[in-house]
Chains A and B, each alone.
Chain A
Amino acid sequence: MLKKLYLVFGMGVIALYGTASWFGWEVANSGSHSRLGVPFFYSGFHGGK
C-alpha cells in the first residue's frame, strides 16, 4: 500500500513539474508583492508600494 502511495506521489511530482515547466510557473526568487505570499503563480497585484 505504501509502495503504491509512493508511486502515486512520485507521478504527482512529475506531473506537477511537467505542468509547471509547460506554463512557466516557477518558484521565483522575487515578486514579493504576490498576494498569496508564495511567488509561484502570477499574483495579478494591482497597485504600487
Chain B
Amino acid sequence: MSELKANCPSCGGSVVFNAGSSIVVICPYCRSAVARTDRGLEDLGKIAEVAESESPLKLGLKGVYRDARFELTGRAQMRHELGGTWDEWYATFSNGWVGWLAEAQGRFYLTFYQPMQAGTTLPTFDGLQLGEIIAQIPAQSPLMVQERGRATYAAAEGEIPYKLTPGEVFEYADLAGKNNAFATIDYSIDPPWVFVGSQVILDEIGLGDAKPVKREARDVAATAMSCPNCGGPLSLTAPDQAERVTCPNCGGMLDVNNGKLKYLKTLRPPENAPSFVAPIGAEGAFADGYKYKIIGAVVRSVTIEGIKYYWHEYLLYNSMIGFRWLVHSDNHWNFVVPVNPADVTPPQYIVKLQTATYNGKQYRVFQDAMAVVEYVKGEFYWRVEQGETVRAIDYVKAPEMLSQEISPNEINWSLGTYMPVADVEKAFGISDLPKPWSVAPNQPFTGRFYYTWGMLPLIGLLLVAIVMLPMTSITRTAKNQQIVLPEFTAPPPTGGPGQIQFSEPFDIKANSNVRISVQAPVSNSWADIDVDLVNDQNQEIESVNVPVEYYSGTDSDGSWTEGSTSSDATVSSLPAGKYTLRIEGTWQDWQKPMPIQIKVEQNVNRGVNFCIAFILLLIMPLLGIMRKLSFETARWKDSMFTDSGSDNSDDD
C-alpha cells in the first residue's frame, strides 16, 4: 500500500490515503470529501456522517477472499430514490484488488470491477428492460436485470476508490444470475462500469466473526420518538432501515428521514376491508427457526370484474435475518421470503399453461392482477404510499406460491409457504384466529394419504389373492351323476312335495366351498330342484335350491332365449366326510320323468370374497380421490386461468 499524508484543503486537518487505489478520503475533522488528483488535492464538498446502522461491518475489519487478504477501508451510504439506504464497503486487497461489498437488508454482495471487451456496448439506462438478460457481461450464468434505479451518495467515511461527489445522483442497474451471481452496472460513468461478483455470506469472506457482536445487540433495539402530528409516542424497531411509519395514536403516516419524522397525511382504512387480526409488535417463532416481530401491516387489494378483494400483509422483522412477510388472505396464511429472480425460470407456456420454474419445481399461474396498497400501519423499509400499485402474478404449487411483483423499476420474486391457522396461532402463542372457509390457491390437500399410502391395503389384498389363488382355485369334482326323477302320477300341488331320489355317497373335503350344478332338459319350461347335502356320519344337512328354466322363441326382433338348462348354487365349506345328495324336484312337464345331471364341485373360484374385500378397501381411496377433485375445483374456481390455459376472467 502506498500511504499519502496530506492536509485537508477545507480545514487543514491531516488526512491519509492509505491505499494506493484510494481516490477520495473523507476528512475525519470536517467531513469534506478530499480527492487526490494530478494537480493536488481537491475538496469535493462536505458529506454527511453515515447514519447509525446495525451493520456488523466496520472500517478496519480484515477478511480473506480467494486466499487474498483484504481490509475494509471505506464506506459509502447510498440513498435509493424511492427511499431506503444501503451501504457499500470498499475492500482493499493486499494483492491490489479493490472489491465492493454491498450490504442491503441483511444481505451482502461482493463485486469487482469487470473491464468490458473493446467494442462491447451495454444497453443505455433508459433502454434497460427489467428481466432482460445482459449477455455482454461475462459471468458464470446469464445475468438478468433485476432492478434499475437512481441513488444519491448520502454519506461516506474512510477511503473511497473513486471520485465520490457528495449529493451526486447516479443511475445504476442490479443484475442477478443463478447460484447467487450478482452484478451492478454503474451509469454514472460513460461508458458505464460493470461490477461482477456474487452474493456472499460473511463466513465465506473471513468476516463471520463480525456478525454476532453487533447483530445480537440490536435484537431488541427500538428507538422511541414522538409523532410530529399529534405528539404521541411511537417507536421504530428498525430505525436504520425505516422509511415510513404510521403513528399508532393519530394514524398519521410519517416519513422517516434519517430519524427525523415528517407528517405526510392521516390514513383511514377502507370501509369494506377486514380488520387486521395480528397486532403490530407481536412476536412469533416461525418454521425457519427464527423469531420475527410484526413491525408493519398493509391492506392490499385487487379488483377483478369490478369486485375488490382485500388481503393483509404483515411485515416481519428479525435483525439477524432482515424482513419477511406474513400474508393473510381469506383467513389463510402464508410465510413469504424473497427469492433471487435469477433462480426463477421466466414464465412460459407449456401445453398452453403458463408456468414458472423455481428450484426445479413448476408453478402454475393462478392470478395476474394489479395489486394496490389500500392502507398501511406500522413501520416500513420503503416509502410506502397509499395507492401504490404493482402488477402481481401468482403461480402456485401447493403448499407454495411463487409471486412476481412488477413495478416500473423493479421485478421482485417471492416464495410463500402455506401455514395452517394452527401454526400461526402456535407461532404467536394465540388461539383465537378466525378459521378459513374456502380453499387457498396454494393450500395443500391433506387427504392425499387415502389414495397414496391408503392404496397399500388394496395392494396387500392383491398380493394375498395371488398367493391364495393356487390353493382356492383348482376345482375338484366330488360327484357327477345323472339321476332320473320319476314322473308324477297327478299334478303336484304348488309348494307340495316333489319326487325324491338319492345319489351315491361321495367324499367332501374340508376348507373348500361346494358348488352344486344341475343340468335339466327343460325347454320352454321349468324345473325346481332342491338339493340336500346329507352328512352320512351325523345326518346334518345343508340345503340348497337350484331352479332351472329355459325359454326360447321368435318375435318381430328375431329369435330370443331366456334362462338356461343348467344352474348352480354354492355354499361355504362343509365339514369333511361322506355325503349323500337328497334330490327333490318338481317340474312343469310333470307327466314325464326328469333326468338331471348333478355335479358337486369343490374349490370353485367365484371371486366373491375378493370382490367384497376389494370394494371395501376401495371406498376410502375413492372418497379420497373425490375429495381431491372437489378440493382442486374449489382451489381453481377463483383463478383467472383455467386448465386449458385460457384466461377465463370473463367467465361467470
Residues of A participating in the B interface, judged by any CB pair closer than 8 Å: 3, 6-7, 9-11, 13-14, 16-18, 20-33, 39-49
Which chain A residue shows the least CB distance to B535?
A44
Q: Check A42 against B570 for contact (C-beta < 8 Å).
A: no
Q: Check B572 against A49 for contact (C-beta < 8 Å).
A: no
Contact A49/B539 with A21-B472, A26-B606, A27-B609 known, Cβ cut-off 8 Å? no
A21 and B492 alpha carbons, distance in the complex (Å): 42
CB neighbours of A25 from chain B (8 A)? 572-573, 609
**Segment touching A, from B201-209, B218-226, B345-353, B510-518:** B510-518
Which chain B residue shows the least CB distance to A29?
B570
> Among A17, A26, A29, A42, which residue has its beta carbon within 8 angstroms of that of B461?
A17
CB neighbours of B189 from chain A (8 A)? none
CB neighbours of A17 from chain B (8 A)? 461, 464-465, 609-610, 613
Q: Check A48 against B569 for contact (C-beta < 8 Å).
A: no
B471 within 8 A of A: yes
Q: Check A49 against B543 for contact (C-beta < 8 Å).
A: yes
A30 and B616 alpha carbons, distance in the complex (Å): 23
Q: Check B543 against A33 for contact (C-beta < 8 Å).
A: yes
A49 and B461 alpha carbons, distance in the complex (Å): 40
Most buried by B among A13, A24, A32: A24
Main secondary structure of the interface of A (DSSP, over half): loop
Q: Check A42 against B572 for contact (C-beta < 8 Å).
A: yes
> Among B465, B513, B575, B616, which residue has its beta carbon within 8 angstroms of that of A26?
B513
Q: Check A14 against B460 for contact (C-beta < 8 Å).
A: yes
Residues of B participating in the A interface, judged by any CB pair closer than 8 Å: 449-450, 453-454, 456-458, 460-461, 464-465, 468, 471-472, 510-513, 516, 530, 532, 539-546, 569-575, 602-603, 606, 608-610, 612-613, 616-617, 620
Q: Please give the distance in Å from A9's CB to the nearest CB on chain B.
A: 8
Q: Check B468 against A18 for contact (C-beta < 8 Å).
A: yes
Q: Check A14 against B569 for contact (C-beta < 8 Å).
A: no
A39 and B461 alpha carbons, distance in the complex (Å): 23
Contact A41/B471 with A10-B460, A13-B457 known, Cβ cut-off 8 Å? no
Q: Please give the distance in Å from B466's CB to the nearest CB on chain A.
A: 11
Q: Check B573 against A26 for contact (C-beta < 8 Å).
A: yes
CB neighbours of B465 from chain A (8 A)? 17, 21
Instruction: Please name 17 pairs of A and B residues whose Cβ atoms are closer than 8 Å in the assembled complex, sorted by A.
Output: A10-B454, A10-B460, A10-B620, A14-B617, A17-B464, A20-B609, A28-B571, A29-B570, A32-B545, A42-B542, A42-B572, A42-B574, A43-B542, A44-B540, A45-B542, A48-B543, A49-B530
A29 and B516 alpha carbons, distance in the complex (Å): 11
CB neighbours of A28 from chain B (8 A)? 513, 569-572
CB neighbours of B464 from chain A (8 A)? 14, 17-18, 21
> Among A10, A20, A29, which residue has its beta carbon within 8 angstroms of that of B617?
A10
Q: Check A45 against B609 for contact (C-beta < 8 Å).
A: no
